[in-house]
Each structure stands twice: as C-alpha cells, then as structure tokens.
Structure 1
Amino acid sequence: MTAISHRAELLAGRYGFRHAARMEWIKLRSLRSSVWVLATTAAGMIVIGIVTIAATEAPQAAAAEPVDPLNNLLAGLILGQLLIGGLGVLVVTGEYSSGAIRSTLAAIPNRRLLLAAKAGVFGAAALVVGELVTFGTFFAGRLALTEAVARPGLGDPGVIRALVLFGVYLAMVGLIGIALGAVLRHTAAAIGTLAGVLFVVPGVLAGLTGTTVAKFFPTMIAGNSLAVTEPADDVLSPWAGFAVLCLYVSVALAAGGWMSARRDA
C-alpha cells in the first residue's frame, strides 16, 4: 500500500490494527531514546552475562552439585527488565507528557485498538532484543568458560527452553510496562509501580515467607523457574511459571484497555 492510499484510508476513518501498528512502528524506530534504550539493554546484559559466566568455577568437592553456567545469564536480568519495562511505560506516558497523544488519537480515535497496536509493536521489538541478548550471551559465554567447567550445549536438557523463555520474559515485562503506562498515565508512578512489583514486594515477601508467596512474582519466576535448566526447590515449574506470567500480562493489558475505554466514554 502506498503512503498516499494509507493516508486516505485514515482520513476516511477506515483504519484497523494494521494502520495503527504501522504508525506505532514508525514512532518507535524514529525516537532515538527508544533505539538507545534497547541497544543499551542488549549490550549491558550481554557484557554482564559474559563477565559473570567467565567467573564461574567448577565445584570444589566431588560430591558437590554440578555447576550450571546457564544460571549466570540472569546476572543482567535486573538491568534488562528495568530498562525494557521502563521503556514500555514511556511508550505510553511519553505521548501524554509531550501532548503528542492528541495527534495520535486524532488519527486513531479507538484507544483500545491503539493500545493493542502499541503492545504488539513494542512487544515484538522487545522479544527480538530479548532473544538476541539471550542467545548472544549464551554463545559468547561458552567461549569465556574455563576448561574446568563443562560447556553447556543447545542439545543439553532444558537449555533451549530456558534460553527461549528468558527472551520471552523480557518481552512480557515490556508489555506489563505498556499496561501500567495505560492505566496510570504518569511516568514516575508507573515505573515506581513496576519496580515495586518486580523487586520490592517479592524481596520483602521472600524475607517473610520464603518462596511460599514470592514464587508467584515475575522476577522470582524468571530467576528460579524459566531461565534455568533445573528449577530451584519449592518454586513453580517452568511452564506453570510461564502460564502465570501470561495471566499477568493478559490481566494488565485488559485493565489498560478498560481504563482507555472509560476515557473514551
């Protein structure tokens, strides 16, 4: 479709998800801040992961549990989810703070459709970055391991699943950021809420109750269930954790769409 016909359909009110997604993709790739945040996330997580993997040591005792170098991919998890989740918030709230939301809604008045397009475009971009980071760190980290530590391979049990789900998790955190931005429409409040859900609340609960409740929070699911070849004791299984995260994202986006619809009324 040519740019002229695309513009004509929008002016005639005949717009759909494809038009909204195209508009959101243009905005996302044209903002230098978005590109730099995604690039910083990728570079930072890969460097942190490689450095941590390189420091992995073999178990000292013969009876010790075998070392799982894949766990060290999580070294950059805090940085990655905070940057991608924060960028997800800014994708929504940035337009409100700058006033650009007026022109966006003039082109696509349907707020639910607009939110779906933002989530689809940003979620896809975050997924690509997440998978590149995960597999890039894995292959580079293998080369950084000492000879005393067995190098994990893609054919080892649980490795492919852990790598793929780690990348998916980062995209899910970005979608939660999108939803919080739509619900709160205030950058500081949304990022503060995101940080509380990811770090503060599960940390406090882990100190008070162990994993009984904390294991249901996103960061605990990622660190103990998804991105490891062998889940820790007394936590959710990888696929149960993935299902819980899907539920969180669905509820968050549904809440964002509901709040957007209320503002249409």
Structure 2
Amino acid sequence: MTTTPAHTAPLAMTSRGAPLRVTYARVLLSEWTKLRSLRSTAYTLLVAVGLSIGLGVLFVAITANEPSGIAPGETAASTSLTGTFFAQLAIGVLGVLMISGEYSTGMIRASLTAVPRRLPILWAKLAVFAAAVFATMLIASLVAFLIGQALLSERDLNTSLADPAALRSVIGAPMYLSVAGMTGLALGALLRNGAAAISSFVGVFFVIPPLTLLLPTSFSDHVVQYLPSNAGAMLLGGHYGVSNPLAPWTGFAVMCCYAVVLIGLAGWRLRRVDA
C-alpha cells in the first residue's frame, strides 16, 4: 500500500509537467464526473423516481376508494410516500454499483494511484452520491405528495405542507433513501462484489423485516422497530405494521448508526486491504 507523509498532500502532474496537488475538492469533482458520466445512473434514478411517484399514487388511489379510508397507524402523507420503499431497491443497487463497478473493471486501482490516501475517495463517493439522491428524490417526494393529496382531497382525507408532520415526511423520504443508498455503497466497498453486496442489501431491507413477523410476538415487538428499514421509516410518518414504533428522529438516528458502522468497516478495509 502506498503511503504519503501526513503533512504533505500527494501530487499529480499536469500535461505541462507542473505539479497538481490532489485536494478533496478535486476528488469530489472526479467522483461527480464518474457518477454523471454513467448512463446507468440516470436510468436508475429515473426508475426510482417512477417507483416513488407511480406506486405512491397507486396506493393513494386504493386508499381513497376504501370505505374505511386511511389505515390505522398511517397518515395522508405516509400513504402518498409509500412508493419510497420500492424506490429504495433502485437506490441501493445504484449505491452498490457506484463502487463495486470500479472493482470489477479494475478502475479502482487507477483511482487509488491518483489518491494514495484512499479514504478521501470513499468520502467523496458518499458525499456525491448522497447529494444526487437527495436532490432527485426530494422532487419525486414532493410530486408524489402533491398528487396524493389531490386524490385524497375528494374525501377530505388530505393534509398540506403547512402541517409540520407532513413537511417532515416529504423531506424525510429523500433522507431515508439517501441513507439507504449510502448503506448500499458501504456494502459494495466492504464486500467488493456487486452480487454479494446487492444480495446483502436486499436481505437487510426486504427479506429480514417480513421474516421477523414469524417470530413470537413477545420477542418481535422489541426487535422489529430497531431494524434499519423499520427504524428509518418512522421519519415518513406511518407505523408500517410496527407495533412499538420509535420516535421519527430517533428511528432515523438508529438507521444512520447502521450506515456509519458499515461505512467505518468499509473505510477500514479500503485502508488495510489492497484492491
């Protein structure tokens, strides 16, 4: 592994032979260029937007036609944002591929040669990815909410962004997706294999939560709410079948803790194990 003295930033050379210092801003720009230059990025984000809006509107339409109206434990805002939980699959896969693709093609070795300290690459990937996901899915969340409330208004079940809880839900959906995607990116960096990382992400976010329903109620009631997907989902305003839900920001903090642990492990492996 190449090391650099702590007080000296690594240098690259320009086309004219002049030294070019590697800065975090330049690493960020490099990762942004990688992200936007891949066609899969735009396609995957479009799929996520479509799932978020389309399925959200579908669930709202079903709810609006139900005689009982909004299900117990749900809100007008959370119903509109139900598509978020389907969009997280696309976002998680994109997070995994953002780094596992470099390992599969060997590009990661060029990246580590240009940035020998290694960790700035991971931080830059996380920052660029989270910013892109949050900005994109915030628009999708707002559109899904507005369309959903228009449909629910026919039965006077709607709410507005003036409601602090509704505003928190609309902003919380892209925050939830950003952390879920960063979790996928961390899994990709840790496992360095796209198939293994995607399988792990699907298992954590889609397989384990419903399987916990098979456990004895006395046990599951004290465990289910701490799973990353269930904990983070509290930020959207609904209970989603969780009998003892955490407070919204507490649940989101629990979800962030899972992501931080995985990111820490990914950073440790990036520093200690060669590509």
Q: TM-score, normalised by structure 2?
A: 0.85
Could you tell me how far 1:178 is from its partner in structure 2?
1.0
- Output the CA distance in 2 between the equivalents of 1:67 and 1:83: 24
Aligned-CA RMSD value: 2.8
- Output the CA distance in 2 between the equivalents of 1:226 and 1:185: 31
2:150 to 137, 143, 148: 143
1:218 aligns with 2:228: yes
Tell me the amino acid that sits aligned with residue 135 of structure 1: L
- Output the CA distance in 2 between the equivalents of 1:77 and 1:218: 15
The answer for the alignment partner of 1:204 in structure 2 is 211
Q: What do the CA deviations read for 1:130-158 (whole angstroms, capped 9, x no partner)?
A: 21121110012222235123221112241
The answer for the alignment partner of 1:131 in structure 2 is 138
2:245 to 230, 235, 247: 235
2:101–2:194 contact (8 Å) kept in structure 1? yes
1:113 aligns with 2:117: no
1:31 to 18, 38, 58: 38
The answer for the alignment partner of 2:6 in structure 1 is none
Identity across aligned pairs (percent)?
Answer: 35
1:75 aligns with 2:85: no
Q: 1:38 to 1:65 in 2, by over 3 A?
A: closer
- Output the CA distance in 2 between the equivalents of 1:66 and 1:34: 35
1:178 to 185, 203, 208: 185
Q: What do the CA deviations read for 1:184-204 (whole angstroms, capped 9, x no partner)?
A: 000010011111111222222
Q: Which has the higher helix share?
A: 1
1:244 to 234, 249, 254: 254
Could you tell me how far 1:60 is from its partner in structure 2?
4.5
The answer for the alignment partner of 1:3 in structure 2 is none
Q: What do the CA deviations read for 1:233-254 (whole angstroms, capped 9, x no partner)?
A: 4111101101112211211111
Q: 1:44 to 1:228 in 2, by over 3 A?
A: same
- Output the CA distance in 2 between the equivalents of 1:67 and 1:235: 12
1:103 to 107, 110, 134: 110
- Output the CA distance in 2 between the equivalents of 1:61 and 1:27: 49
The answer for the alignment partner of 2:268 in structure 1 is 258
Q: What is the DSSP-based 3-state SS (H/G/I as helix, E as strand, rest coil) of the residue aligned with 1:55?
A: helix
Could you tell me how far 1:57 is from its partner in structure 2?
3.1
Ranges in structure 2 where 5+ consecutive residues have no aligned partner:
1-11
Deviates more, 1:127-136 or 1:187-196: 127-136
- Output the CA distance in 2 between the equivalents of 1:11 and 1:194: 44
Q: TM-score, normalised by structure 1?
A: 0.88
Tell me the amino acid that sits aligned with residue 251 of structure 2: G
